[in-house]
Amino acid sequence: MSELRKDPIIDRWVIVAAERGARPSDFKEERKEVETKSCPFCGGNEHMTPPEVFALRDGPQNANGPDWHVRVVPNKFPALSIHGSQERSGLGLLDRMDGIGAHEVIIETPEHSVHLSDAPVSQIARVLWTYKSRLVDLRGDRRFRHMIVFRNYGSIAGASLAHPHSQLIALPITPKAVKDRLRAAQAHYRAKERCIWCDLIRQEAALPERMVQRSEHYIALAPYAARFPFEVHLFPTRHCHDFVLMSDDETWELAQFLKEILLRIKVTLNDPAYNMMLQTAPNPLPRPGRPDYWGTIEYDYHWHIEIVPRLTKVAGFEWGTGFYINPVAPEQSARFLAEAEVPIIAEAVAV
């Protein structure tokens, strides 16, 4: 029988239609990746992108030159612009403000076809260090209140170029979905003086039917009220509200952990398209007029990564109700992913 499940963090219900009995082989995607000889993200084509804002190189720091490991450039077609005012205006119920922000592309490797699941751990660590560096830098702009790093893998997931890359968008407002999580975390902490995600991690680790993988400092779970089949959330087991506060050792371990999770998804589901989102704390700089707006965030929030394979489509029911229908029980998803046979990751020397 189907179940209605409520997300333990926010007030969102999901229909788990487990009686459909879907298995990984039921989700087959026709991959239509377009390879191009003139990819602007490939090594040697640096002149085809806007000037870089950041890069990791071993040798001479020749800006916009070759011999880089990771490179960050402004998006050529940005959703938001760095120029503009944060002031709001309105007419009656209609509010508006300039579309200020930042929209950057993190080019993860000079190699056209080496995605994170196949990249060396050292390269994944470089990508994670780049995430941290760009978040820290953009937070220096008081106009930016929230940043999200995301990765669209595959055209179905929204990737317009096949070359491995992530994106970072800095926003002048805190999105509603983020506010909902922050307020739920704040309310839980005020009631119990504990982080709600720490409580959830302890509970799920003790009843491991939804646990996909665990290491010394990280855990991957299929959420109890997963919106989509084979959705996975990755958490640090140590309480930490902000991704940028990871130590170098924790970053290296996360690179290994993330590679294994992505390999499990690739092997189990035949390399599906997916979206990956880094959910971390908003800009900690005090807000004008609200210096203590997220005053307890250091104690009540918990950064995490969400990975959503694109196996089903959101249609009229979901748009009209806000409910999601998941045809695979999270417990079943966790079991399939946990049992996947993946290559042993032997690389263990930090960069």
Helix (H, G, I), strand (E, B) or coil at 148: strand
- From CA 162, how far away is CA 99, in angstroms rounded? 28
Q: Is the separation of the CB atoms in 176 and 322 below 8 Å?
A: no
Active-site residue, selected from the candidate residues 165, 188, 233, 304: 165
Alpha-carbon torsion (52, 101, 302, 151), positive or negative: negative
- From CA 136, how far away is CA 283, in angstroms rounded? 9
The answer to whether 163 is a known catalytic residue is no
Which residues, 6+ apart, have CB-to-CB distance to 106 below 8 Å?
Answer: 70, 71, 72, 127, 130, 131, 134, 149, 165, 166, 167, 168
Helix (H, G, I), strand (E, B) or coil at 139: coil
**Beta bridge partner(s), residue 211:** 221
**Beta bridge partner(s), residue 68:** 57
User: What Rg do the C-alpha atoms of the chain give, in angstroms?
Assistant: 20
Environment class of residue 151 by beta-carbon count within 10 Å: exposed (0-12), middle (13-18) or buried (19+)?
A: buried
Residues with a known catalytic role:
165
